[in-house]
Structure 1
Amino acid sequence: MSLPDLNLLITLDALLAEGSVAGAARRLRLSPSAMSRALARLRQATGDPLLVRAGRALVHTPRAIALRQQVSDLVHDGVAVLRPVDKLDLAQLARTFTIRTREGFVENFGAQLIKRVRAEAPGVYLRFVPKPDKDSTGLRDGSVDLETGVIGKSTGPEVRTQALFRDRFVAVMRAGHALAAGAITPASYAGGEHIGVARQGGGKGPLDDALLALGLERAIVATVAGFAPALALARESDLIATVPERHTGLLRDGMHSVALPFPMPGFTVSMLWHPRLDADPAHRWLRGHLRAVCGAERG
């Protein structure tokens, strides 16, 4: 049996990603007529029209939608196989890396990471984007190169991970707060007014479960979606914010921080990436710098 023309995979990837013949032609630097002929060959090979007209635009068929991620992964893997893995000219490297993180991470680690990266590869551009959830879709579809966070049940099983640092929650309040004067107790902590932090839903979680085990409950008077707004509120009020210690180091400058006065397990912040980038030399180089920056202790 004769093998199919595997070059068609690259064409199919471009067509499925762009959703148009003209867009795919520009992406692969082909003429529109050449791309139209390639689409005809792909339709014959797959037995499916792949892209069909809807008004003035083209839309994906169900088969095309089902193939899109598989074809993208095959092309990425093929490129990785044919790329030299041991030769990386950092001085000539021109590449954009998209890194998805929660707020506080860039403020605490971003400047050092940029400094290290630019010292070796001035042509590398780092694009930090917010992380509103733990969905791994961005890693799968290639829109995100690297991510940081706590590994959870929603993390894709194929995603590669490596620990960056251990963290713990601390109670944070403005300088001069009544609880900043002496030792804090579980009762005095629970007796204050608190800011809940929750990306979705209410502001209660494991911390409140730990208090409940002691017969205590905190009063949450406001809920915000992130650590930065929680600290901003605490800085200008008598409210207490409970946030990760290392993750928010610079955001807490000038504020009073204290360890929680009751047992609360720590957690590990990791970096996450898709396996297609596992052997990529430039990506390995970036991961090494991120490990070094996050592993450095701050005075």
Structure 2
Amino acid sequence: MHQMNDLRRIDLNLLVILDALLSEQHVTRAAERLHLSQPAVSHALARLREMLGDPLLVRAGAGLVATPRALELMAPLREALASVQALLAPNTFDPASAKRRFRLAMSDYGAAIVLPGLIARLRQEAPGIDLQISHASREGMLDGVLNGDIDLAAGVFPELPHELRCTPLFEEQFVCLVDARRLPASGVLDLPTYLARPHVLLEMRGSGTPEIERALTAIGQRRHVAVSLPHWSVAPQLIAGTDLILTVAARGLQGVDQPQLSVVPPPFPIPSFSFVLAWHVRRGGDQALNWLNRQIAQVIVHG
């Protein structure tokens, strides 16, 4: 009975405000995010401090910093709010009338594969669904899903934290893009030529291409990287008329239409990899998110 009385004292809106405050660590930004006035959020913070017996956010220079107690609260608070949202959500999801914004994380490789078909499908079937796309390293994307900043992350995640689940989208192979005139007379890219030539490395915000380097290490070899790029789209344009080699995932070259370029197999084994959607187990009851998850999978299969 005592526990029930404690629950009756808690205003759920205060927990929503606390979540915004801990995320933004700034009263004004939290107020803007919640569409509330700054005095209302300040008043809520005062009530939260009294209720939890902790200052929660303390002044540090021009900003605010979360206390150790506040940091402990962040993950369980978001999990609790997600559970409440799933509990109160309607049993059925109607894409035609739904109004939601989803936050997706993916590289430009993933965006090129997923977004064109997905956006076309959403505009036709669910025009009220908005997408916010972000880009980070593999670790950054998974951290975003774990802390609730990201709803779905599309990428290559060989190891997932136990709190996350994944929806496999496709299995991918590596290929090499070269200038056709710089291939050996046999038309085959052999290992001595591969090792002697300079390479373009895609190193997208710390993720790099570890699969290629690991495969080279496995045969006791290294390659010379002449150009290292943080993004995908310009890389194929650097190959024509040069001796450079670009070793990339095959689907990333689907839009490349230059007759002077050749796509050939790498001259050493590089394991394939799974491209997946990662999502948090606590979101398993979110029917809207489950619907979006299915749409992405169908786009990959059917276009």
**Class of the TM-score when normalised by the shorter of the 2 chains:** 0.7 to 0.9
Residue in 1 aligned with 2:105? Answer: 100
SS across alignment from 1:92: coil
Alignment of 1:3 with 2:22, yes or no, is: no
Percent identity for Structure 1 against Structure 2: 34
Structure 1 pair 169/13, CA: closer, same or farther in 2 (3 Å)?
A: same
Residue in 1 aligned with 2:289? Answer: 283
Q: How far does residue 182 in structure 1 lie from its aligned partner after superposition?
A: 1.5
Aligned equivalents of 2:167, 2:119: Cα separation in 1? 20
Aligned residues: 295
Q: How does 1:10-21 map to 2 (within 5 A)?
A: 10-19=16-25
Moved more, 270-279 or 181-190: 181-190
Give the alignment's TM-score, normalised by structure 1.
0.82
Q: How far does residue 288 in structure 1 lie from its aligned partner after superposition?
A: 0.8
AA matched with 1:198: E
Aligned equivalents of 2:61, 2:153: Cα separation in 1? 39
Structure 1 pair 258/156, CA: closer, same or farther in 2 (3 Å)?
A: same
Provide structure 2 residue ranges, at least 5 long, that are not aligned to the other structure: none
Residue in 2 aligned with 1:127? Answer: 132
Q: How does 1:147-166 map to 2 (within 5 A)?
A: 147-153=153-159, 155-166=160-171
Structure 1 pair 187/20, CA: closer, same or farther in 2 (3 Å)?
A: closer
Structure 1 pair 207/17, CA: closer, same or farther in 2 (3 Å)?
A: closer
AA matched with 1:168: Q
Aligned equivalents of 1:97, 1:51: Cα separation in 2? 28
Q: How far does residue 46 in structure 1 lie from its aligned partner after superposition?
A: 1.4
Deviations 1:71-110 (A, max 9, x none): 2221121111111132x22222222222211122222332
Aligned equivalents of 2:51, 2:285: Cα separation in 1? 32
Alignment of 1:172 with 2:177, yes or no, is: yes
* Equivalent of 1:85 in 56, 81, 91: 91
Deviations 1:258-296 (A, max 9, x none): 122332211111111222322212111111111012224
Aligned equivalents of 1:39, 1:51: Cα separation in 2? 9
Q: How far does residue 216 in structure 1 lie from its aligned partner after superposition?
A: 5.2
Q: C-alpha root-mean-square deviation of aligned residues, in Å?
A: 3.2
Give the alignment's TM-score, normalised by structure 2.
0.81
Structure 1 pair 157/179, CA: closer, same or farther in 2 (3 Å)?
A: farther
Structure 1 pair 107/14, CA: closer, same or farther in 2 (3 Å)?
A: closer
Structure 1 pair 219/84, CA: closer, same or farther in 2 (3 Å)?
A: same
* Equivalent of 1:262 in 259, 268, 288: 268
Deviations 1:139-165 (A, max 9, x none): 133332211111134x43312211100
SS across alignment from 1:279: coil
Structure 1 pair 236/275, CA: closer, same or farther in 2 (3 Å)?
A: farther
Q: How far does residue 245 in structure 1 lie from its aligned partner after superposition?
A: 0.5
Assess if the C-alpha contact under 8 Å between 2:146 and 2:163 holds in 1.
Answer: no
Structure 1 pair 33/197, CA: closer, same or farther in 2 (3 Å)?
A: closer
Structure 1 pair 177/296, CA: closer, same or farther in 2 (3 Å)?
A: farther
Alignment of 1:114 with 2:119, yes or no, is: yes
* Equivalent of 2:51 in 39, 45, 55: 45
Assess if the C-alpha contact under 8 Å between 1:161 and 1:273 holds in 2.
Answer: yes
Structure 1 pair 292/179, CA: closer, same or farther in 2 (3 Å)?
A: farther
Residue in 1 aligned with 2:66? Answer: 60
Provide structure 1 residue ranges, at least 5 long, that are not aligned to the other structure: none
SS across alignment from 1:157: coil
* Equivalent of 1:141 in 143, 147, 162: 147
Q: How far does residue 202 in structure 1 lie from its aligned partner after superposition?
A: 11
